[in-house]
């Protein structure tokens, strides 16, 4: 080795030593501020995607005529104008993968326009051309594994992929680049939903695997047990699809919808891979299931924002207990998806939908809440198991949308106050009923509302912000990026409503247990374990709660001059022994840090000038091992001008 080589090695190892000595373990934990906004969106979904999908309406009994029938209704009856843009195929469109070159073939008996013949055999290009001519964008469906969901779950369906084992492998596994290029370049699709049965269903015990009908894979997703899923492998496979899409559509004009049902901790990493990601198992048209799916997004407010959305699954409006005989429930379902900034993908046969259902899907002031360009998800302002108040900041100053929800089958009442809305109580607050499109008069101090069974009201409140010259961070969840959540071991979230499982109706098992990881993730106006924020006996209504060893980024965009918060170990902390230091960075520079804070110690004021700062980083650094997870509060965290 040359002298220069030796010198270089010495220099490199010394610099490594210095970094290690300066901050033991900091880099490995991801806690060091980067100064760079690290939420990189996938594709283009500046507001929650809106459209229609075949699955909830038709299952695998899908045909071109049925899809175009609903598209025509969206076009003709005002829904396209409201923003319903994507017309998406779900499972059932494929015939087989051609073994000579791997090119996917379309089931042309169901999609006649795909019978193009020639060397390609078949093509969905005429179908997407038709949709594009109608002013729509087109969506397709695939699976991340070798095989798809219908092949595992609908074995008697006559329209399943045909041929040899290899021909029946219609999923993206081993063909991601080829298929994505075919779908997005040749066929010109704009949106893809990528399911995950290929990673979970083709397990050794499956009889169709045992008899050689399907190739065995994994499983690497254990749907109900996050700690048995190979989270890294699932994420890597979906990331390959994202990269294939970026290669074919470098302008980012696509939507990638991840459909692994909230499994494998996707509720934490989906924002870096998909434009949207399912947070739960499949919805069905029942009240309990709708609540279940809703709950899986309701506590994930800090994970969504323009370009990346929590997806509680497609709408069931028009179906089952959300049909024209249940307009209260249908409106509630719509209100909840709108307040949560969830994708609005219609899942009913619109050719049979009465006007009352079309009116709900197209309600202009409701859709406007969903599509508000600020992209904030609703934040829970009040909750018990029966009633909730959820508030979504809108882009206009002092404008909030609020849902008042009755989860029960009994009448109930609740009281709304300016504090729920984070609006000044001593100034007028105008309320408007967005379903009735009527002003309700002013909120003076408080207002009581009666709600019928399963009823939700969706209101807009306009007033003066409670902070005259700025906002609480919990009012702006879309400005927050969870760079590091501090979760050491994924734990299932126990507060999600556990519905009667439609796939296992009998009670012969020992019941329905929590399954979705995410418990312990940071929250707005709550701790990561859903307690109220409190430090040394003082409760705080507003703020951010997190685990120690977390790093939260805030997009301040140079618009504020001051950051302030009261910081400390939360009174609900599970760990009680370790000290935690709170550090505030602006564009990568340390601006302020707290004393080491211990359980039970009074909150410390952290107030610092941030003029010109674009990216703030809130780091809670745990200074020693602890006896349990340390819970910290950035109480009353706020930005002012
Ligand atoms: C499920 C998915 C549904 C639908 C179905 C098709 O895994 O969650 O939305 O796509 O597969 O078989």
- Digit-coded pLDDT (tens) for 301-356: 999 999 999 999 999 999 999 999 999 999 999 999 999 999 999 999 999 999 99
With a cut of 50, say whether residue 26 has pLDDT above it.
Answer: no
Q: What is the pLDDT of residue 501?
A: 75
Percentage above 90 pLDDT, the chain? 93
CA of 156 relative to ligand 1 center, distance in Å: 16
Q: Is residue 613 part of a domain?
A: yes
> Rounded mean pLDDT of 198-217?
96
Q: Is residue 49 part of a domain?
A: no
CA dist 435 and 422 (Å) reads: 23
Contact yes or no for 169/192 (Cβ under 8 A): no
- Digit-coded pLDDT (tens) for 218-256: 999 998 889 999 999 999 999 999 999 999 999 999 999
Give the end of a domain, one of 427, 456, 471: 471
Residue 129 CB–ligand 1 contact under 6 Å: no
* Shared-domain flag, residues 258 and 345: yes
Residue 195 CB–ligand 1 contact under 6 Å: yes
pLDDT band at 2 (very low <50, low <70, confident <90, very high): very low
> Rounded mean pLDDT of 197-206?
96
- Digit-coded pLDDT (tens) for 449-503: 999 999 999 999 999 999 999 999 999 999 999 999 999 999 999 999 998 877 7
* Shared-domain flag, residues 547 and 453: no
Q: What is the pLDDT of residue 511?
A: 87
Give the end of a domain, one of 427, 447, 471: 471
- Digit-coded pLDDT (tens) for 424-447: 999 999 999 999 999 999 998 999
> Rounded mean pLDDT of 561-569?
98
Residue 282 CB–ligand 1 contact under 6 Å: yes
pLDDT band at 151 (very low <50, low <70, confident <90, very high): very high
Residue 180 CB–ligand 1 contact under 6 Å: no
CATH number for the domain spanning 229: value is: 3.20.20.70
165 CB-side CA count, 13 A: 10
With a cut of 70, say whether residue 18 has pLDDT above it.
Answer: no
As given in the structure block, the two tokens for residue 423 are 């609006």
Most ligand 1 atoms within 8 A of CB, residue of 55, 152, 193 to mutate: 55
CA of 225 relative to ligand 1 center, distance in Å: 19
User: Judging by beta carbons within 10 Å of its beta carbon (0-12, 13-18, 19+), is residue 372 exposed, middle or buried?
Assistant: buried
Closest CA to 602 of 560, 627, 566: 566
For ligand 1, atom 3: residue with the closest CA: 282
- Digit-coded pLDDT (tens) for 256-269: 999 999 999 999 99
> Rounded mean pLDDT of 600-606?
98
CA of 324 relative to ligand 1 center, distance in Å: 25
313 CA: nearest ligand 1 atom: 9
Q: Is residue 50 part of a domain?
A: no
CA of 175 relative to ligand 1 center, distance in Å: 20
State which residues form the domain around 451.
379-471
Q: Is residue 636 part of a domain?
A: yes
3-class secondary structure for 234-298? HHHHHHHHHHHHHHHCCCCCCEEEEECCCCCCHHHHHHHCCCEEECCCCCCCCHHHHHHHHHHHH
Q: What is the mean pLDDT of the chain?
A: 95
Q: Is residue 453 part of a domain?
A: yes
Q: What is the pLDDT of residue 506?
A: 86
Classified as helix, coil or strand, 327 is helix
For ligand 1, atom 4: residue with the closest CA: 55
With a cut of 70, say whether residue 5 has pLDDT above it.
Answer: no
CA of 88 relative to ligand 1 center, distance in Å: 13
Contact yes or no for 635/535 (Cβ under 8 A): yes
> Rounded mean pLDDT of 412-429?
98
CA of 55 relative to ligand 1 center, distance in Å: 7
CA of 401 relative to ligand 1 center, distance in Å: 31
* Shared-domain flag, residues 9 and 131: yes
As given in the structure block, the two tokens for residue 355 are 């006007």
- Digit-coded pLDDT (tens) for 29-40: 899 999 999 999
Contact yes or no for 192/255 (Cβ under 8 A): yes
CA of 65 relative to ligand 1 center, distance in Å: 21
Most ligand 1 atoms within 8 A of CB, residue of 91, 292, 313 to mutate: 91
Instruction: Domain count for the chain, please give it.
Output: 3
CA of 18 relative to ligand 1 center, distance in Å: 51
* Shared-domain flag, residues 542 and 454: no
* Shared-domain flag, residues 464 and 569: no
Residue 67 CB–ligand 1 contact under 6 Å: no
Q: Is residue 595 part of a domain?
A: yes
DSSP string, 129-167: HHHHHTT-EEEEEEESSSS-HHHHH-TT-TTS--SSTTT
Q: What is the pLDDT of residue 500?
A: 83
150 CA: nearest ligand 1 atom: 12
Q: What is the pLDDT of residue 27?
A: 57
Q: Is residue 363 part of a domain?
A: no
Residue 157 CB–ligand 1 contact under 6 Å: no
Residue 257 CB–ligand 1 contact under 6 Å: no
* Shared-domain flag, residues 267 and 230: yes
282 CA: nearest ligand 1 atom: 8
User: Judging by beta carbons within 10 Å of its beta carbon (0-12, 13-18, 19+), is residue 543 exposed, middle or buried?
Assistant: buried
Q: Is residue 341 part of a domain?
A: yes
- Digit-coded pLDDT (tens) for 359-399: 999 999 999 999 999 999 999 999 999 999 999 999 999 99
CA of 218 relative to ligand 1 center, distance in Å: 19
148 CA: nearest ligand 1 atom: 12
CA of 495 relative to ligand 1 center, distance in Å: 24
CATH number for the domain spanning 564: value is: 2.60.120.1060
């Amino acid at each position: 080795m040359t002298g220069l080589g030796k010198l270089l090695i010495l220099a490199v190892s010394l610099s490594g030593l210095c970094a290690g000595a300066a901050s033991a373990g900091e880099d490995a934990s991801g806690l060091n501020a980067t100064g760079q906004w690290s939420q990189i969106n996938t594709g283009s979904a500046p507001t929650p995607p809106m459209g229609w999908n075949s699955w909830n309406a038709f299952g695998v009994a899908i045909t071109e005529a049925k899809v175009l029938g609903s598209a025509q209704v969206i076009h003709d009856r005002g829904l396209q104008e409201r923003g319903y843009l994507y017309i998406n195929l779900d499972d059932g469109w494929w015939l087989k993968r051609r073994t000579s070159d791997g090119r996917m073939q379309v089931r042309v008996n169901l999609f006649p326009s795909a019978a193009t013949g020639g060397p390609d055999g078949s093509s969905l290009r005429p179908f997407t051309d038709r949709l594009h001519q109608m002013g729509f964008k087109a969506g397709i469906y695939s699976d991340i594994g070798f095989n798809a969901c219908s092949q595992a779950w609908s074995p008697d369906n006559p329209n399943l992929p045909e041929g040899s084992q290899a021909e029946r492998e219609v999923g993206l596994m081993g063909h991601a680049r080829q298929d994505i290029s075919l779908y997005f370049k040749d066929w010109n699709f704009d949106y893809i939903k990528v399911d995950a049965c290929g990673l979970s269903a083709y397990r050794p015990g499956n009889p169709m695997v045992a008899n050689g009908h399907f190739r065995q894979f994994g499983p690497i997703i254990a749907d109900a047990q996050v700690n048995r899923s190979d989270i890294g492998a699932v994420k890597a496979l979906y990331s390959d699809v994202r990269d294939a899409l970026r290669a074919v559509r470098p302008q980012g004009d696509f939507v990638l919808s991840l459909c692994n049902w909230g499994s494998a901790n996707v509720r934490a990493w989906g924002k870096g891979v998909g434009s949207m990601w399912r947070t739960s198992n499949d919805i069905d048209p029942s009240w309990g299931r709708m609540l279940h799916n809703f709950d899986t997004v309701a506590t994930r407010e800090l994970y969504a924002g323009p370009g990346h959305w929590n997806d509680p699954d497609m709408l069931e409006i028009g179906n089952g207990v959300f049909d024209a005989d249940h307009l209260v429930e249908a409106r509630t379902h719509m209100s909840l998806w709108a307040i949560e900034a969830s994708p609005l993908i219609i899942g009913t046969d619109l050719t049979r939908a009465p006007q009352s259902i079309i009116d709900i899907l197209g309600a202009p002031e409701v859709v406007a809440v969903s599509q508000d360009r600020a992209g904030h998800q609703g934040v829970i302002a009040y909750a018990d198991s029966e009633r909730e108040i959820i508030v979504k900041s809108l882009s206009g100053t002092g404008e909030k949308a609020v849902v008042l929800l009755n989860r029960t089958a009994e009448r109930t009442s609740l009281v709304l106050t300016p504090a729920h809305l984070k609006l000044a109580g001593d100034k007028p607050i105008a309320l408007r009923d967005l379903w009735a499109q009527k002003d309700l008069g002013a909120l003076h101090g408080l207002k009581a509302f009666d709600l019928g069974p399963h009823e939700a009201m969706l209101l807009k409140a306009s007033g003066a912000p409670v902070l005259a010259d700025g906002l609480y961070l919990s009012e702006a969840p879309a400005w927050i990026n969870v760079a590091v959540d501090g979760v050491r071991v994924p734990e299932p979230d126990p507060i999600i409503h556990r519905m009667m499982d439609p796939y296992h109706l009998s009670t012969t098992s020992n019941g329905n247990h929590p399954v979705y990881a995410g418990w312990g993730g940071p929250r707005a106006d709550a701790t990561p374990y859903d307690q109220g924020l409190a430090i040394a006996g003082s409760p705080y209504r507003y703020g951010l709660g997190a685990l120690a060893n977390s790093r939260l980024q805030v997009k301040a965009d140079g618009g504020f001059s001051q950051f302030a918060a009261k910081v400390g170990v939360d009174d609900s902390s599970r760990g009680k022994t370790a000290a935690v230091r709170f550090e505030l960075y602006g564009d990568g520079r340390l601006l302020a840090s707290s004393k080491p804070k211990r359980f039970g110690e009074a909150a410390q004021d952290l107030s610092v000038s941030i003029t010109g700062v674009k990216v703030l980083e809130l780091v809670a650094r745990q200074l020693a091992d602890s006896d349990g997870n340390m819970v910290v509060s950035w109480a009353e965290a706020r930005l002012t001008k």
